[in-house]
Structure 1
Amino acid sequence: MAMASPASSFHLPLLAICLASLNVMLVAGCYSSIFSFGDSLADTGNRLHSHRFDPVGRFPYGETFFHHPTGRYSDGRVMLDFIAQAIGLPMVRPYLAGTHDGEGFRYGANFAVGGATALDNEFFRSKGMEVSWTNDSLSVQLEWFKHLLPSLCSRNCSYLMSDSLFWVGEIGGNDYNHAFFQGRGVDEIKTFVPGVVSAIGSTIEELIKLGARTMIVPGNFPIGCVAIYLTTFQSARREDYESGTGCIEWLNQFSMYHNRLLLDELSQLRRRYPQATIIYANYYEAAMAIFRSPQEYGFGEFPLAACCGGGGPYNYNKSAKCGRDAGVCSSPSSQVSWDGIHMTEAAYKVIARGLLGPYTIPSISRSCPTIKWNVLDSDYKYSAQS
């Protein structure tokens, strides 16, 4: 048997110590980078770079983790941050924060923008709707990615594409939000769903043709449990509400309708492209688990009220929005809802952890066995890269 040299024997313990000290931040490395598309649920600063005076750029946004606003629609991190952390990558940099020449995007790029829709604005104008939100729809975000791609790899991008994780969504929620809050009826809005799902499917298909091999596609959250919806559609009819949660049942049924159509679309794409791993992230059930048993996850008894809000039964008032003149609760970590539309860092962390278990189909752990969710409990340090 060959004997180790004195020099190599001396360095082995030192190497082991170094590797152990890095274990919290580094995992085996299933993916070299993350590319994300979506809306405010995944936005890490794009909206703020395009709309300097958006309320998300003001305190108390970002107060819990970053201790200053970063353009995230939360008091701290969003799910994309936790996913990157668990994989062992830096937080994904917003595309609009870069120079678009590849500099700073070594570990991927985030194209998600607060307010973004799956469908282009022309669709909503054709329906006679007032369009006052961002024009950075899913198709625009895909074009950003294609513009950036040549600067990340030279002639052959197959390795980068196959070695990256693509996060496509959540997207589509704003297509429905804008319609609901402009007074459109649920029957009309249901006719939007096939088009929304088709837009998501087309984006996935184009990414696969570009070489993507692993992608996570989230469904819609239960909008009947969201404070802005609970306030807008408050009802005196007990039968409108779910008995165990207090969420509005018909709105949750709408979310489930979107998710059923999305699951059908993903099934078709899997059959068409067996070389790709398309993972469905069940945001709906991951969130409902919290709403059904909030105390089990460390939250208060009434998880439907916003932490940062302007009063009312759900602490949401459209005249007193977070980042402007709304008050903020003393303990965001015990609340599920942050500003009446988005969740707190604590809630996002619970949902992100649940994605390792029953809330991804197929499980993320199958495509990335070395993913380590215990790092979510570590003393993760924020860096300038984030």
Structure 2
Amino acid sequence: MDSSMKVICMLMLLFASVVQASGCYDSIISFGDSLADTGNLLHLLRSNGHFVSSAAAFPYGETFFHRPTGRYSDGRLIIDFIAMDPSSLAAMGIEDPFGSDASLGTQLNWFKEMLQTFCNTPSECKKYLQSSLVFLGEIGGNDYNGAFWQGIPIEEIKPLVPKVIATIASAINEVIEFGAETLVVPGNLPIGCSPSYLTYFMSSNESYYDSKTGCLNWLNEFTEYHNKLLQETLNRLRELHPHVTIIYADYKAAMELYNSPSKFGFNSTISACCGVGGPYNYNSNVGCKVPESSVCEHPSSYVSWDGIHLTEAAYKWIAHGLLKGTYMTPRISDACILKAPTISHCKETMKA
């Protein structure tokens, strides 16, 4: 494996002690899109000679890291606090919105290559994964973005959802086969509250919008459709793998921020902190680039960072809702108790 691939793989595998999960896991292994990417896409694009990601430049990272890290936010992501192949999409007439193959299948290949550096035999790898918390998602957002932003009617996009779910299920089965015993699979965020979607599908028809939040109802209903199918699939996978804990992370935790923004210290929910123009401060031709765009003075009072991704403050509250609230099924603390004896044994084995 060449040095650039090693860098990419290392960034895809985010290893950190899980203090919030009572210290039960030795590491976190994270798969996902830009909502969970801690810098992988940036290195992938650079190594392939593509355009440099906007997340490589200020003001990305300004709040916590005080420099751009490749994270699509002003600071940390949900994963810091705690799918399909491009060819498949092309066959459906959907273009990859970011022009690079960082699909779930590609990430799994990176994972399998990188796993070999942590263990020498299948038995060792299995023990390593038994003591890891695997985050798989969210997955599907970029697939849907590419379709919606190309103007494909929702009636033609809905058949894509079962294909995305099937890809997620296949990845879950594969990771379990390698030895994973605790997985967190998040649903999708409410895209009807995203400034990018609100701008693209702006309408004078007030009935399209939620009168309380200002979000587009029909787009949030699409998200709920994806999440419903995902939960049904996870239930079937639990029956197939009774020894594995599969946790569904319900991103309805995010809707709390839109329904009761002042409770969490937010003054703006559906307007981007960093952007330019229009009622939602979002322009797809400019995005979040200085000096072309303006940056709000207090990102922590905004839910949306750049019109597509969220602020560190929003990610922090969502993570809190997942870890401390009722938005994980089963709760991660329960999974921690169930896995504690196995993980304790694994730790001693790995030390030996």
Query: Normalised by the size of structure 2, how large is the TM-score?
Result: 0.86
Q: Does 1:124 align with 2:123?
A: no
Residue of structure 2 in register with 1:322 after alignment? 288
Q: Compared with structure 1, are the counterparts of its residues 272 and 314 closer, same or farther at alpha carbon in structure 2 (3 Å cutoff)?
A: same
* Conserved 8 A contact 1:226-1:340: yes
Aligned to 1:18: none
- 1:143 — aligned with what? 109
Q: Structure 1's 40 and 296: CA in aligned 2 closer, same or farther, altered over 3 A?
A: same
Task: Give the superposed CA RMSD.
Answer: 1.8
Does residue 174 of structure 2 align to residue 209 of structure 1?
no
- Residue 58 (structure 2) aligns with: 59
How many residues in Structure 1 have an aligned counterpart in Structure 2?
Answer: 312
| Map of 1:109 onto structure 2 | none
The 5 Å alignment of 1:234-273 reads 234-273=202-241
Find the aligned partners of 2:146 and 2:94 in 1 and give their Cα distance: 9
Task: Indicate which of 167, 170, 194 corresponds to 1:226.
Answer: 194
Per-residue deviation, 1:127 = 1.8
Deviations 1:225-263 (A, max 9, x none): 000000000011111001211100000000000000000
SS in 1 for 2:30: strand
Please list every run of 5 or more consecutive structure 1 residues that lacks an aligned counterpart in the other structure. Answer: 1-22, 84-117, 371-386
- 1:35 corresponds to which of 8, 29, 40: 29
Compute the displacement of 1:159 (Å). 1.3
In the TM superposition, residue 183 of structure 1 has moved relative to its aligned partner by 0.8
Percent of counterpart pairs with the same letter?
54
Q: Is the 8 A contact 1:61 1:74 kept in 2?
A: yes
Partner of 2:41: 47
Q: Distance in 1 between matches of 2:236 and 2:153?
A: 30
Higher helix share: 2
Whichever residue aligns with residue 48 of structure 1, its letter is L
Match of 1:168?
136
Instruction: Assess, with a 3 A threshold, how the Cα gap between structure 1 residues 25 and 220 changes in structure 2: closer, same or farther.
Output: closer
Instruction: Answer with 1 or 2: which has the greater Rg.
Output: 1
Partner of 2:72: 73
What is the CA distance between 1:368 and its match in structure 2?
Answer: 2.6
C-alpha change, 1:355 and 1:130, in structure 2 (3 Å) is closer
Give the CA deviation at 1:29: 2.3
Change (3 A) 1:352 1:25: closer
| Residue 310 of structure 1, aligned match among 259, 276, 279 | 276
The 1:212/1:24 distance shift into structure 2, 3 A limit, reads closer
Contact residue 43 and residue 72 of structure 1 kept, 8 A: yes
Change (3 A) 1:25 1:273: closer
1:344 aligns with 2:343: no
Task: Structure 2 unaligned segments of length 5 or more: list them.
Answer: 1-16, 47-51, 339-352
CA distance in 1, matches of 2:307, 2:216: 15
Deviation at 1:122, TM superposition (A): 1.2
Partner Cα distance (1:311, 1:355) in 2: 33
Q: Which amino acid is the alignment partner of residue 119 of structure 1?
A: M
Alpha-carbon distance in structure 1 between the residues aligned to 2:237 and 2:131: 20
> Secondary structure of 2:116's partner?
helix
Tell me if the contact between 1:227 and 1:316 (Cα under 8 Å) persists in the aligned partners. yes
In the alignment, which residue of structure 2 is the partner of 1:103? none
| Contact persistence 1:57–1:323 (CA under 8 A) | no
1:51 deviates by: 2.2
Cα distance, 1:298 vs structure 2: 0.8
Instruction: Report the CA distance between 1:136 and its aligned residue.
Output: 1.6
> 1:134-156 deviations in whole A, cap 9, x for unaligned?
21210110111111112101212
- The 8 Å contact of residues 187 and 227 in structure 2, kept in 1 or not, is answered as yes
Correspondence 1:276-291 to 2 at 5 A: 276-283=244-251, 285-291=252-258
Given that 1:56 and 1:323 are in contact with CA atoms closer than 8 Å, whether structure 2 keeps it comes out as no
Q: What SS does the corresponding residue of 1:129 show, helix, strand or coil?
A: coil
Which contiguous aligned blocks of 4+ residues in structure 1 show a shift greater than 3 angstroms?
Answer: 23-28, 129-132
Counterpart selection for 1:354 from 321, 328, 331: 321
Report the CA distance between 1:364 and its aligned residue. Answer: 1.0
Q: Which amino acid in structure 1 is aligned with residue 288 of structure 2?
A: C
Q: Distance in 2 between matches of 1:72 and 1:210?
A: 28
